[in-house]
Chains A and B, each alone.
Chain A
Amino acid sequence: MDTSPHSRSTANGTDEVLYVGGAAGFSGDRTDATGPVVDALINAAGPAVLIFETLAERTLALAQLAKRQDPSKGYEPLLDDLLEPVLARCLAHGIRIVSNFGAANPEGAARRILAMAAEQGLRKPRVAVVLGDDLLADDKAEWSDRLSGRHVVSANAYLGAEAIADALRDGADVVVCGRVADPSLVLGPALAHFGWSLTDWDRLAGATMAGHLLECGAQVCGGYYADPGFKDVPNLANVGFPIAEIYADGSCVIGKPNGTGGIVDAHCVKEQLLYEIHDPQAYLTPDVVADIGTAIVTDLGSNRVRLAGVRGHARPDELKVNICYENGWLAEGEISYAGARAEARARLAADILRGRLSGLGPLRVDLIGVFSVFGDDSGSALSQRQPGHGRDVRLRVALSHQDQAAAERLTREVTALYTCGPAGGGGVRTSLRPRLGLESCTVARDRVRMRHIFIEQ
């Protein structure tokens, strides 16, 4: 299916496998992990694709806000750091690049990539952008109405793999997307390579779960897994990012570049397989409903794990839509108490703040070092604990409010503990940040005009 003049040779039976490297798991991921992944793809000497997954739920709304400030921005802020070190090698070796790093401005990202190639003296890449996810671009008023007049920042449909596959078939070296379902970044290249029918549900589901395993970067290679004495992971400081070998039957083998840290074993892969999964027999994507109810995870040794037996069911009728809106302010403040009666002093400070800030809505109280993240916002879990004798306690308080000035009162009251609070408090830090709210709904497929275009300059 490979039609690009720059694509890899598919001799030696290598068309039976597609190599996909997962080079990022979120916006803000390490940017130096990509090099070893690209080297491994080159050494594999088969058809290969590099994906970057950089869009968490709110990232797109933040990108829309950046684009409001500067219309040339609104794509992944680390685009240069991610691509500059590897663009030349990818173009030279026919490794296609597929990513959602276009965020709120895929055309802007595409233009930046063209400029980057020119700056490096490379041949001009064929850069395609996938469009149609940004529903505000078509009809902002409708989406604001849905949220009864709230200030909507972004409304994006989760697109599937079809437009990515089409762009690759049309010869794209780089495919820049905004919001697409994360696993579609892998399924798209698999569709283009193997030529599967769009209703070949089992194969589509297999490649979708390969994408699911890759979409969080190092999380399938021992990142976010280590627990000393229980789950020991070698050389986590240099953890490798994953490479999936995808086979024509839809099964895959997950591995990582030689010489990198981390671990790919059955236990680690199972953790990532179930990450953010609800019903394991109905993992919904725009492309297929994937079913791991009979899937088999097999440890092949040498940091290689096979996933097979994934089944698929007909794709959902509608597409998921995420709508982000401005949602007031989050105020936080912290102060430390150490030594004798530290916990009692921190608790007294919390009581003072509760009194001073009454009427502003619920005040979250954490006693960091005693009890914090397992607690609930209402404070019921904390109130059930007997006061203890913590000797190194950081008091943290937080509240949210629609009005900025009201929220700011928290930061001022925490700061005032310096002179008006219990003895010995120090190290005040406060922050005041705007909040984004998120609502999800679905939209009929025919309301979304998914398409790809090539950007020339």
Chain B
Amino acid sequence: MQMTTVPLYRAAHGRTGDKGNRANISVIAWKPELWDLLVEQVTESAVAALFASRRPTSVRRYLLPQMHAMNFVLDGVLDGGVNSSLNLDTHGKNLSYLLLELAIAVPKPLEALLVGNNDEAVDEP
């Protein structure tokens, strides 16, 4: 089947929370029909690879199929957390937007369910 590669933020949205040196990031499908491909492609190993420079000590995914939502728990990714990180964003509030940049492949028939389009990132004059 013909597939289109898109950033995850076209298929899902999410929010980061923090506790100590642990971040959790929700990934919530925009449409129920997109849920299965998220389960297939937004995996622990894909997310661990995306966060490699943050050196997570563990990446755990929890599925909530009745909500078409999943929750990632990433340990060790906040440089010690809000009290010791030197990051401007000590909470890691922005990290949901790093996860939502994950590239996913969407079958052509589901493309119409995606939000936005593929070129909003191209902003240069």
On A, residues with C-beta under 8 Å from B are 57-58, 224-225, 227, 229-231, 267, 270-281, 292-297, 327, 330, 362, 364, 366, 368, 372-377, 380-381, 384, 396, 398-400, 435-438, 440
Is B88 in contact with A396, judged by CB distance below 8 angstroms? yes
Question: With A227-B13, A267-B28, A373-B88 as given contacts, are A384 and B53 in contact (CB-CB < 8 Å)?
Answer: yes
Is B26 in contact with A375, judged by CB distance below 8 angstroms? no
**Interface window among B14-22, B38-46, B105-113:** B14-22
Is B83 in contact with A277, judged by CB distance below 8 angstroms? no
Using CB atoms, name the residue of chain B closest to A275: B17
In the A-B complex, list the 9 residue pairs whose CB atoms are closest, starting with the nearest. Answer: A276-B17, A364-B86, A274-B26, A381-B53, A377-B79, A373-B89, A398-B86, A271-B15, A275-B17
Chain B interface size band reads 35 or more
Contact of A277 among B9, B24, B85, B95 (CB under 8 A): B24
Is A280 in contact with B86, judged by CB distance below 8 angstroms? no
What are 13 A-B interface contacts by the 8 Å CB criterion? A272-B15, A274-B17, A294-B66, A295-B66, A364-B87, A373-B94, A376-B55, A377-B85, A399-B86, A400-B84, A435-B84, A436-B83, A438-B20
The answer, yes or no, to whether B125 is at the interface (CB within 8 Å) is: no
Using CB atoms, name the residue of chain B closest to A435: B83
- For the complex, what is the distance from the CA of A364 to the CA of B86, rounded to whole Å? 6
Nearest chain B CB to A179 CB, angstrom units: 15
Is A230 in contact with B9, judged by CB distance below 8 angstroms? yes
Is B26 in contact with A278, judged by CB distance below 8 angstroms? no
- For the complex, what is the distance from the CA of A31 to the CA of B69, rounded to whole Å? 33
With a cutoff of 8 Å between Cβ atoms, the chain A residues found around residue B88 in the complex are 366, 368, 372-373, 396
With a cutoff of 8 Å between Cβ atoms, the chain B residues found around residue A398 in the complex are 86
Is A296 in contact with B66, judged by CB distance below 8 angstroms? yes
- For the complex, what is the distance from the CA of A368 to the CA of B64, rounded to whole Å? 37
Question: With A229-B116, A280-B62, A374-B98 as given contacts, are A58 and B53 in contact (CB-CB < 8 Å)?
Answer: no
With a cutoff of 8 Å between Cβ atoms, the chain B residues found around residue A231 in the complex are 13
Nearest chain B CB to A28 CB, angstrom units: 14
Nearest chain B CB to A160 CB, angstrom units: 18
Contact of B86 among A57, A400, A440 (CB under 8 A): A400
Is B94 in contact with A374, judged by CB distance below 8 angstroms? yes
Contact of B64 among A271, A292, A436 (CB under 8 A): A292
Is A270 in contact with B67, judged by CB distance below 8 angstroms? yes
Nearest chain B CB to A99 CB, angstrom units: 22
Is A278 in contact with B22, judged by CB distance below 8 angstroms? yes
Most buried by A among B9, B71, B98: B71
Is A270 in contact with B116, judged by CB distance below 8 angstroms? no
Is A277 in contact with B84, judged by CB distance below 8 angstroms? no
With a cutoff of 8 Å between Cβ atoms, the chain B residues found around residue A280 in the complex are 62, 64, 71
Contact of A440 among B18, B20, B24, B115 (CB under 8 A): B20
